[in-house]
Amino acid sequence: MRQVAVLGVGMTKFGISEKTNLEMFAEAGLEAITQSNIEPKDIEALYFGNCLGGFEEGQLHMAPFAHAELGLPLSVPATRFESACATATVATRHAALLVAAGVYDLVLAGGTERATTMGTSFATRTFAMASQAQYECPAGMTFPGVFAMAAHMYANKHGIPLKELKKHMAEVAVKNHYHGSMNPKAHFQKEIDVETVLGGMMVADPLQLFDCCPFSDGAAAVVVAEAGKARDLVKKPIYVVGTGQASGGPLYLQQDLTRVRAREASVAQAYRDSGLGPDDIDVVELHDCFTIAEILALESFGFYDFGKAYDAATKGETALKGKVVVNPSGGLKAKGHPIGATGAAQVTEIVEQLRGESGPRQVEGARIGLVDTLGGDFGTVCNIILRS
């Protein structure tokens, strides 16, 4: 297998957009292409992610049209991936695998999503299609419900009073909003405090409004290339040193909602691939769709023993200048969550961090970063490890 590197990255501002999915992707894609010192005609394949375009815009088969917006040559295959929230991570992983294999030398990967115009209640119902909809939706198992159950189970299993756990969960939101306040592309760039979180509207007990990430519009893209080519083209290529992907299946196969087994399998692959382990990671972009989700992820990575990550944010261990910086972009919580774009935006943040280009939210001396995205309620997990 050949060494693979990310050359350029691009993303739109996340938030509420008037643009179509294709317009947003073109903006992010052209930014990534320009930053890579290449032209659209140099791209050999497009790995494109989108989840809800069929519902949102009546646009299902979007990859060849994204290809056209970018002016890619006819012979360049454009392939759409859908892995719920992990869509663009899975697309980027496949770009890296096929470059490593020598099938392509230069690939554009990424994703785009419009999620704000469908309105909150319709969006929750629509997002719930990414669960095992046949069994879980009729039982009311939308995503806030599943993660609320996980929070209750976590509190119970580890003997943490729920009231105490809620305060620690609130600290996760506070930390990610603090990070987001330094990210000009974040959906929310405003700091919040614990009282705001604990005073929020109840969504699914114990999750209140600020425990939940928003629905956002946005796109992100990355150019992946064979490492030698990458070194010829850009000053500081960032290397893809390991990837993992695993499938958890539906909820009825989960033995314990406090352990995302698919994540444990996926991150183990990425560690094995890269020869690295939890102690090597300086910075992480992880799937904080809900505050409890960040806590569970930290334990799956091996950063903390099971039952021990709940107060990591409270202790400042996961904030800027902490032991391992988690979601310096603001995470899904503050940067926003345009589902099909999220994975590529996470890669974008890690690449910029490892290049030392993150301005006030720069993680000092960051050399190794981990991307983590969870699709659905534990259905898919995908991880990517990057190194400067």
Where on the chain is the footprint of a second copy (CB under 8 A)? Answer: 1, 20, 22, 46, 51-52, 54-55, 57-61, 63-65, 67-68, 72, 74-84, 90, 94, 97-98, 100-103, 129-134, 137, 245-250, 253, 261-262, 265-266, 268-269, 375-376, 379-380, 382
Q: Does the active-site annotation cover 212?
A: no
Between 129 and 202, CB nearer to a second copy: 129
* Contact residues for 237 (Cβ-Cβ < 8 A; gap 6+): 5, 6, 7, 225, 227, 230, 231
Between 145 and 375, CB nearer to a second copy: 375
Minimum CB separation from a second copy for residue 355, in Å? Answer: 28
CA distance 8 to 178: 26
SS3 228: helix
Closest CA to 365 of 270, 274, 280: 280
Minimum CB separation from a second copy for residue 307, in Å? Answer: 22
Minimum CB separation from a second copy for residue 388, in Å? Answer: 25
Tell me the longest C-alpha to C-alpha distance in the chain.
Answer: 59
CA distance 290 to 307: 17
Residue pair 219/14 in contact by the 8 Å Cβ criterion:
no
Q: Which DSSP string corresponds to 111-124?
A: EEE--STT-HHHHH
CA distance 88 to 49: 5
Minimum CB separation from a second copy for residue 160, in Å? Answer: 27
Between 13 and 80, CB nearer to a second copy: 80
Minimum CB separation from a second copy for residue 65, in Å? Answer: 5
Q: Which helix (H) or strand (E) holds 298?
A: helix 291-300
Between 55 and 306, CB nearer to a second copy: 55
* Contact residues for 57 (Cβ-Cβ < 8 A; gap 6+): 20, 21, 114
Between 101 and 202, CB nearer to a second copy: 101
Q: Which helix (H) or strand (E) holds 367?
A: none
Q: Does the active-site annotation cover 337?
A: yes
Minimum CB separation from a second copy for residue 94, in Å? Answer: 7
Please list the residues that pair with 238 across neighbouring strands.
Answer: 6
Closest CA to 329 of 279, 284, 289, 280: 284
Pair of tokens at residue 90: 């899975």
Between 262 and 320, CB nearer to a second copy: 262
The position carrying tokens 């580890």 is 158
CA distance 127 to 116: 12
CA distance 142 to 301: 25
Q: Which helix (H) or strand (E) holds 221?
A: strand 218-226
Minimum CB separation from a second copy for residue 190, in Å? Answer: 32
Minimum CB separation from a second copy for residue 300, in Å? Answer: 13
Between 14 and 81, CB nearer to a second copy: 81
Which is the catalytic residue, given 51, 85, 289, 382?
85
DSSP state of 288: -
Between 196 and 247, CB nearer to a second copy: 247
Q: Is the dihedral of CA 324, 383, 211, 189 positive or negative?
A: positive
Which is the catalytic residue, given 168, 177, 337, 382?
337
Q: Annotated active-site positions, please?
A: 85, 337
